[in-house]
């Protein structure tokens, strides 16, 4: 719409001079602004429109008289800023006054009448403000933009200023009256849901006004749903939830499940259409989610009816099984996503992780039992979806070892002394661990981590009981077979033999040496069974334990000639008694801590270099050992690189445990496990191929690959490139060979 070029009655006063003050200027502008805001622009002559624009330009740009010696540029700038600010304030006052009469009318209106009035006034108001914005374009460009560039973000172009005033003076005025405006919209939507014909265009106009009233002060061109999401979306979603909850209960009481499903599908389509017609698209997700709760799997009775009906139809349960499978998978993924949040997957607590997975499984397993009568197809759907989210979720990321590792760590905590995490009895808690174990794809990773943890429990003597350890191994054996647990069982044989060896050594010492320390125990373990590695650095045996070391070595070699002992000082532990304090303490230490502390039998202060030379422990490991002793206040480190024995050490406990794992050991554990898994997999794949070829004699490559996957998948899912690499290795070793003229066929070499 443009100003008319036809003549009309002169409705405006004479144009004020360029030097006119604000009151004169606004007296001329006010009738024209009223004319435009009343949507009467068509009757405004082009000359009058030009005069209005000129007056605004003159007022904002006219320079004040400048005296001799005055700073001309500053005075002009200040004059322009002052004029712009005064005129901007007049516009705000105008909008406030203009809206006041609307408030008096709206206060007496209700329901659809209120919506009609609101929509018509919104159209008139925003149309007028649009043209008013063009009239004040010079003010927008020269003053308001400058103010916003100077970070006065509360300043708006005239059109947006009109919306700000509408929101604060009119919209909030109506809404504070018991949310009268939004409630009127919701009642109209409810009428439509009940089958009445409504003015959908009216709803759309009102709802879109909520969208328009949202402003992002930092970026005026960016869509902002602040008003829409605060005032409309939450009550709309709540009303939707309440409406369909009431409807579904009433409908199910009088209709069949089949009719119910058809009704739910029809309602979903209606709500999709409602979003398209007059709601903002961002409401779609929340709205449809509420509607889909018509099929929520917590509704046991409804599910039982649904199952009973669909089971009568050939293949009628297939869609329900698929929907159930998707539901379970999403529930599992969602549970772990909430658990992980924004944190690092490395810091996931094993118990919390396992409990989250088990809760999802248990809830849906009960649904299968109660609502689907334990039907095999639903059991398979449950297993399939659980296998997916147990092995790959937000906590595992791209790591195929994470889930087996966390489950093994959880089992380790359960099987330790003084464990308070077992729910009820330990046996039932271990059974719950096995539920998740059966879903693991990489069971060999679990076994490797479990073996590492078991070895530490046995060496450190912290197992809850031999019965619990045996019970867990039997559960694993039942799930994966004898070969899977063979090495675990043999570790217990080593422990028994070591106890007998210690007893016989003590008897020998009692007969030959009077100064025998009867607290000495030793474990001699088979190298190929235990995931233990000797230290990569040297270790100088302290003179305090040298006699016992030499005597045991001599005794062992006298009984087992030809065997070589490799001492694992990094896994050894000791007890030291203090003699330099008033109170005697028993310090439980690692061998490295013991080697450090006994140096203070001959020194009060030692440097890092001196300790490294005396113990032969590498400095990176030694620094971590010393850090633990300083933290425990056995040593003090007041001077860099210098460590003193603390003569003022005190503890509430007589027995002080200093033997804590160091970072280097924890990091090495995961690295060692991955290496062990890789090597073990190569061996397993090769032995499986040999076993298959020995039985079949001749096989094609593709058939061999499929058979290997079939036989190994109970322990892990082998990758095809790894199988092919193993085949090439066996060809080189001449366990098998290619059939002449058939490159993809192999024959076994006896």
Interacting residues of 285 by C-beta distance below 8 A, sequence separation 6+: none
| Separation CA 745–CA 51 (nearest Å) | 96
Q: For residue 508, which of 541, 568, 554, 466 has the smallest C-alpha distance? A: 554
CATH topology assigned to domain 1-155? 5 helical Cullin repeat like (1.20.1310)
pLDDT for residue 392: 92
Interacting residues of 231 by C-beta distance below 8 A, sequence separation 6+: 175, 179, 182, 210
| Separation CA 681–CA 445 (nearest Å) | 10
Domain ranges, ordered by start, for the chain:
1-155, 178-295, 296-493, 494-569, 572-660, 666-748
Structural tokens at position 691:
């076993």
Q: For residue 554, which of 518, 615, 513, 526 has the smallest C-alpha distance? A: 513
In tens, the pLDDT along 685-743 reads 999 999 999 999 999 999 999 999 998 887 888 889 999 999 999 999 989 999 988 88
Q: How crowded is the C-beta side of 75, counted as CA atoms within 13 Å?
A: 11
Q: Tell me how far CA of residue 224 lies from CA of 167, 172, 213, 218, 350, in angstroms.
A: 14, 17, 8, 11, 42
Q: State the DSSP code for 70.
A: -
| Separation CA 60–CA 64 (nearest Å) | 11
Structural tokens at position 699:
């096989």
The residue ranges of the chain whose pLDDT is under 50 are 1-10, 64-77, 295, 297
CB 595 within 8 Å of CB 617: yes
CATH topology assigned to domain 666-748? Arc Repressor Mutant, subunit A (1.10.10)
Q: DSSP characters for 669-718?
A: HHHHHHHHHHHHHHHHHHHHHHHHHHHHSEEEHHHHHHHHHHHHTTT---
- Token pair 């174990």 is found at 437
Based on DSSP, count helices (H) and strands (E) in the chain, helices before strands: 30, 9
pLDDT for residue 169: 92
CATH topology assigned to domain 178-295? 5 helical Cullin repeat like (1.20.1310)
Residue range 572-660 in CATH 3.30.230.130: yes
| Separation CA 111–CA 212 (nearest Å) | 22
| Separation CA 147–CA 83 (nearest Å) | 13
CB 478 within 8 Å of CB 425: no
Structural tokens at position 739:
């059939």
Structural tokens at position 477:
């054996």
CATH topology assigned to domain 494-569? Ring Box Chain A; domain 5 (4.10.1030)
The dihedral built from the CA positions of residue 36, 41, 47 and 48, taken in this order, carries a sign that is: negative
| Separation CA 90–CA 88 (nearest Å) | 5
Q: For residue 78, which of 56, 63, 93 has the smallest C-alpha distance? A: 63
Structural tokens at position 89:
């304030």
Tally Cβ neighbours within 10 Å of residue 433.
21
| Separation CA 283–CA 271 (nearest Å) | 10
Q: For residue 184, which of 123, 109, 272 has the smallest C-alpha distance? A: 109
Q: How far, in whole angstroms, is CA 12 from its chain's centroid?
A: 66
| Separation CA 749–CA 473 (nearest Å) | 37
Interacting residues of 73 by C-beta distance below 8 A, sequence separation 6+: none
DSSP H/E element including 505: helix 482-512
Q: With 0-12 CB in 10 A as exposed, 13-18 as middle and 19+ as buried, what is 10? A: exposed
DSSP H/E element including 441: none
- Token pair 């300083």 is found at 630
Note whether 1-155 and 296-493 share their fold. yes
pLDDT for residue 343: 52
Task: Output the CA torsion 98→100→102→103 (10° steps).
Answer: 160
| Separation CA 108–CA 97 (nearest Å) | 19
pLDDT for residue 46: 85
Selected from 3.40.50.800, 1.10.1380.10, 1.20.1310.10, 3.10.180.10, the CATH number assigned to the domain covering 296-493 reads 1.20.1310.10
């Amino acid at each position: 719409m443009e100003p008319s070029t036809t003549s009309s009655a002169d409705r405006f006063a004479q144009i004020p001079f360029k030097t006119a003050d604000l009151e004169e200027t606004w007296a001329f502008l006010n009738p024209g602004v009223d004319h435009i805001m009343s949507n009467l622009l068509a009757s405004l002559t082009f000359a009058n429109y030009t005069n209005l624009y000129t007056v605004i330009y003159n007022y904002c740009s006219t320079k004040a008289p400048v005296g001799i010696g005055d700073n001309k540029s500053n005075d002009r700038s200040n004059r322009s800023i002052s004029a712009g600010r005064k005129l901007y304030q007049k516009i705000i006052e105008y909008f406030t006054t203009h809206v006041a009469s609307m408030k008096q009318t709206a206060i007496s209106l209700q329901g659809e009448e209120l919506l009609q009035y609101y929509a018509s006034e919104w159209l008139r108001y925003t149309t007028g403000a649009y043209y008013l914005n063009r009239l004040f374009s010079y003010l927008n460009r020269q003053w308001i933009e400058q103010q916003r560039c100077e970070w006065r973000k509360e300043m708006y172009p005239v059109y947006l200023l009109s919306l700000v005033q509408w929101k604060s003076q009119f919209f909030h005025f109506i809404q504070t009256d018991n949310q009268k405006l939004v409630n009127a919209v919701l009642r109209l939507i409810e009428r439509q849901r009940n089958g009445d014909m409504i003015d959908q265009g009216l709803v759309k106009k009102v709802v879109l006004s909520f969208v328009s009233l949202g402003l992002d002060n930092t970026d005026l061109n960016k869509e902002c749903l602040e008003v829409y999401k605060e005032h409309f979306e939450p009550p709309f979603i709540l009303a939707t939830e309440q409406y369909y909850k009431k409807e579904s209960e009433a409908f199910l009481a009088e209709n069949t499940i089949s009719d119910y499903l058809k009704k739910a599908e029809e309602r979903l389509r209606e709500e999709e259409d409602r979003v398209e017609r007059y709601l903002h698209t961002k409401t779609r997700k929340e709205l449809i989610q509420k509607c889909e709760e018509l099929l929520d799997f917590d509704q046991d009775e409804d599910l039982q009816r649904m199952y009973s009906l669909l089971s009568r139809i050939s293949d009628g349960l297939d869609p329900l099984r698929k929907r159930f499978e998707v539901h379970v998978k999403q529930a599992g993924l969602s549970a772990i996503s909430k658990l992980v949040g924004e944190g690092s997957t490395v810091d996931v607590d094993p118990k919390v992780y396992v409990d989250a997975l088990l809760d999802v499984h248990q809830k849906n397993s009960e649904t299968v039992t109660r609502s689907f009568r334990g039907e095999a197809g639903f059991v398979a759907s449950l297993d399939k979806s659980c296998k997916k989210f147990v092995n790959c979720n937000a906590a595992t990321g791209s790591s195929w070892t994470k889930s087996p590792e966390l489950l093994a760590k959880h089992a380790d905590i359960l099987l330790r002394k003084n464990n308070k995490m077992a729910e009820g009895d330990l046996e039932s808690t271990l059974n719950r661990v096995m539920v998740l174990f059966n879903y693991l794809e990489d069971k060999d990773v679990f076994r490797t981590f479990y073996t590492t943890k078991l070895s530490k429990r046995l060496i450190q003597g912290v197992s809850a009981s031999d019965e619990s350890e045996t019970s867990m191994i039997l559960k694993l054996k039942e799930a994966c077979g004898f070969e899977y647990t063979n090495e675990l069982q043999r570790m217990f044989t080593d422990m028994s033999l070591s106890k007998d060896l210690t007893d016989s050594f003590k008897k020998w010492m009692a007969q030959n040496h009077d100064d025998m320390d009867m607290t000495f125990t030793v474990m001699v373990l088979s190298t190929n069974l235990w995931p233990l590695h000797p230290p990569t650095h040297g270790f100088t045996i302290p003179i305090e334990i040298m006699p016992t070391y030499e005597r045991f070595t001599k005794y062992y070699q006298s009984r087992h000639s030809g065997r070589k002992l490799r001492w694992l000082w990094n896994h050894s532990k000791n007890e030291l008694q203090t003699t330099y304090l008033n109170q005697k303490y028993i310090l439980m230490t690692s061998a490295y801590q013991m080697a450090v502390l006994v140096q203070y039998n001959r020194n009060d202060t030692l440097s890092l270099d001196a300790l490294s030379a005396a113990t032969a422990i590498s400095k990176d490991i030694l620094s971590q050992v010393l850090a633990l002793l300083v933290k425990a206040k056995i040593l003090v480190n007041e001077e860099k690189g210098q460590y003193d024995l603390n003569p003022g050490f005190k503890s509430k406990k007589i027995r002080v445990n200093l033997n804590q794992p160091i970072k280097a050991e924890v990091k090495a554990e995961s690295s060692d496990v991955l290496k062990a898994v890789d090597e073990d997999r190569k061996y397993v794949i090769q032995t499986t191929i040999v076993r298959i070829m020995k039985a079949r004699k001749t096989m094609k490559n593709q058939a061999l690959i499929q058979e290997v996957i079939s036989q190994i998948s109970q322990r892990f899912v082998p990758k095809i490139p790894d199988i092919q690499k193993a085949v090439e290795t066996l060809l080189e070793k001449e366990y098998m060979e290619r059939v002449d003229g058939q490159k993809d066929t192999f024959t076994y070499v006896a």
